[in-house]
Copies of this chain bind each other. A is one copy, B any other.
């Protein structure tokens, strides 16, 4: 599955900026792929692209209409369907990270068939995976893991890729969630795979490569999250990382949507090494990525200093301070 570029981003009538966070993520990391944003009357989001119509988007060469907004009710409102069908009629594929499948809407399915356009439901993988083999593959891999869900694992992986690429390393982001797949133009929403095939899907996503190639793998969940740890473990085993970065949000008191306390970064390092050794005995931690957005700069620096002292690892906030120190460590460990 490869989503064709460039994109035009559909924001619909997003009720606030957060509702369009998928589109915002695409623009943050792949602005060059985006020819404009389509906003309907009442839209409260703006991701900073030119406002265009379907016709404008087509004229600017858009090949895929990306639904970059969540719909509160879980269904596609009729006025969105009109725009999506217009996009198809203008020659675009459509990509969506919504739970509902585009093809389950008869008008969209019919238009796609009539105009021979593709529908990408990135939450619903159509790939047929094998079960994981556990066999070590050539090429290098770095995985982001977390003390919790939603602590910046995708952002950390994209920031690592950007820093590594800027230094001339052969690095490629490997997406495992729906927003990541839209940003990368491909990948697999690993939490939507049938349980038997989690590690097999992760192996498929990070195939054998040149010895100097780095796959930078977007992590999911946490080994300590009671809802999703199975996904996290299968992804760890299948991606068999040489290196990992622990992501953390220091102001959170309980794990997302559950009452459990957060593990410490040290617990995550130990558990990741302990489990990850099964498919890569040399697995090691190369840094800590801390989301300090809720802290003042002085507080942030104090938290990072403490993490560096506690774990003898580089620690940074990728937004505030970049991934330079962590990539320094990665390069030093894997010369």
- Indicate if the CB atoms of B230 and A231 lie closer than 8 Å: yes
Q: Do A230 and B195 touch across chains, with their CB atoms under 8 A apart?
A: yes
Q: Are A258 and B134 in contact (CB under 8 A)?
A: yes
Interface residue? A215 (CB, 8 A): no
Could you tell me if A195 and B190 are in contact, using CB atoms closer than 8 angstroms?
A: yes
> Which of B230, B238, B257 lies in contact with A234, CB distance below 8 A?
B230
Task: Judge whether A260 is part of the interface by a CB distance below 8 angstroms.
Answer: yes
Q: Give Cα A233–Cα B259 distance, bound, in whole angstroms.
A: 19
Which chain B residues border A200 with CB–CB below 8 Å?
Answer: 227
For A228-259 the 0/1 string (1 means CB < 8 A from B) is 11111111011000000000000000000111
For residue A227, which residues in chain B have a CB less than 8 angstroms away from its CB?
Answer: 131-134, 196, 199-200
Interface string of A196-239 (1 = CB under 8 A from B): 10111000000000000000000000011111111111110110
- The answer to the question of A279 belonging to the interface, with a C-beta cut-off of 8 Å to chain B, is yes
A282 / chain B contacts, CB cutoff of 8 Å = none
A192 interface residue per 8 A CB criterion:
yes
CA distance A274 to B235 in the complex (A): 19
**Inter-subunit contact B195/A234 (CB<8 Å):** yes
A198 contacts across to B, CB distance below 8 A:
195, 230-231
A196 with B226, Cβ < 8 A, contacts A258-B134, A259-B135, A260-B278 known: no
For the complex, give the distance between the alpha carbons of A271 and B133 in Å: 21
CA distance A229 to B135 in the complex (A): 15
Structural contact, A133 and B199, CB atoms closer than 8 A: no
Q: Is A193 an interface residue (CB 8 A)?
A: yes
Q: Inside 8 A of A274's CB, which chain B residues have their CB? A: 271, 274
Indicate which residue in B199, B231, B259, B278 contacts A196 across the interface (CB closer than 8 Å): B231
Residue on B with the closest CB to A257?
B131
Given A131-B257, A135-B258, A192-B194, 7 new contacts (CB under 8 A): A132-B228, A133-B227, A198-B230, A226-B279, A231-B234, A233-B233, A260-B278
